[in-house]
Structure 1
Amino acid sequence: MKTIAAWKLPLVALGLAVSQFSLADDKALDAAIASDSRAEANVARDKFRHPKETLAFFGVKPDMSVVEIWPGGGWYTEILGPYLSEKGTLYAGHFPADTEVGYYTRSLEKFKEKVAADKASYGSVKVTEFFPKDGRSPAPSGSADMVLTFRNVHNWMRGSHEQKAFEIFFDALKPGGVLGVVEHRAKPGTSLDGMIKSGYVTEQHVIDMATKAGFVLEEKSEVNANAKDSADHPKGVWTLPPRLALDDQDRDKYVAIGESDRMTLKFRKPAK
């Protein structure tokens, strides 16, 4: 019989709560995902990131006020912007402008240019700044129906700012609002130092931080799971696509694995 590590088993096999969600006939979401305005390189990653299934799991609706945390080049913004353009609002909580980190400032400016160049797609987008180090919030307190963060938690851990990030999310959400988290998944028991070095974070660490901030874990999904990923690579998660940090060394091996194994967690801010 084939042996599978417990941390890789489907949640149902572990007797844990599993999300039971169906993909609604959301033509607006289908249209946003299929839009010609999306970059070809981004579309090519749909098979790893499962945008429709992920956003359906979180429960996004076209009339919501949504916060996207650190959108980078705008992979999810290319979907959320058009989707929310008519009835909703998208706060793109990007990197801070007043920083000496060149990557932050270049990425922010490039993102602003992207949004400004296509008002039809990004008319709902409000570019703001998010920086847990100084408590900078991406949206007014109690204004958001949903906060979404994709593969960011490990970045805040380097400066020990991850708990503050979750506290800011909690404050930005309306009572009853949803926090959706997608993050590279470490094996249970991985040390804090191991998480920081590898870029993989344990589900329990994320759950503990969210719970401490006041959230309630509502559901888990395995939609972004990748059983091929051992979460143990020479240069951490960056060994895998799209980064491929080892360049040509064992390239075919890592391309065959694909992008990282990821947790997909849905939290809710209590209504009262």
Structure 2
Amino acid sequence: MYRILVVDDEPAAIKHICNIIAIKCPQFEVTATAEHGQEALKRLEEETPDILITDVKMPVMDGIALAERVKERYPEVLSLVVSGYQEFEYAKAAIRSGVYDYLLKPIKPSALQNALNSMEEVLAERYARKRNFLMKSLCEKNSVDRKLLERYFPAGKYYAALVRRNGLPRRYSGNSGFEIFSGRDEKIYLYGRDEMEAMYLFGRYSVLQELLSDHLRDNPAGARQLQLCDRYYPGNAVFHRTCGRRLFRAVPASRQQYRDRRKPDPDCRGAERG
């Protein structure tokens, strides 16, 4: 979910915005609220949201000044200003502050929903770039902040699959390849150092079953192989493309287990126990 910080000195206004988001925009979540700009800056230091929704007229620090500070300190945060004032000067000041949109009170659910849907397009592209960067960093064994992983990979636990074509990766053949990244709307996250080898992350094991449903429907033996592998090694079944067929292989927990379990399982044909 995308995170939102709502700032308004009227509790009823905050509740109204939160209710609209909860009902109309389930892909968003209000993670924090504040009564004025100064308090909002403290909330931003604790946890950076994706979107800031702020009123204009507030004590201590108004919404225009808050939007300017946020633009300066947190340039990736998208700001949405709401106000009961229709004067052009307020809208012009908000535009100068770099806000994404400007809505008038009382806020109509459809207006807020349309604004957030538009902002979602920007955030989806940004999240995809961040995920690709983190995937590459992990594959290159670089240090990655745990909070970033939790934010851009929210499922918490993932199934990993390493897929290779024609044996060794291209980098061992001396030929240069090109990197592969997953697209914005793909359900499976992907990073390949070249086109011969790629790592996949599945947020749910059911995603793998969904993607292979057509293949397994026409191939009962393949479905049986997947069931056996998942029984012997729950959560560690991965698929390989070999000689035009999809075979399922269980990933051992260590190299020692790999050496100890080389012998294929006769009941799992295409699958191996190690």
TM-score range for the pair, normalised by the shorter chain length: under 0.3
- Structure with the largest fraction of strand: 2
TM-score (norm 1): 0.28
- Tell me which protein shows more helix as a share of its residues: 2
Task: Report which structure shows greater RCO (CA 8 Å, sep ≥6).
Answer: 1
Larger radius of gyration: 2
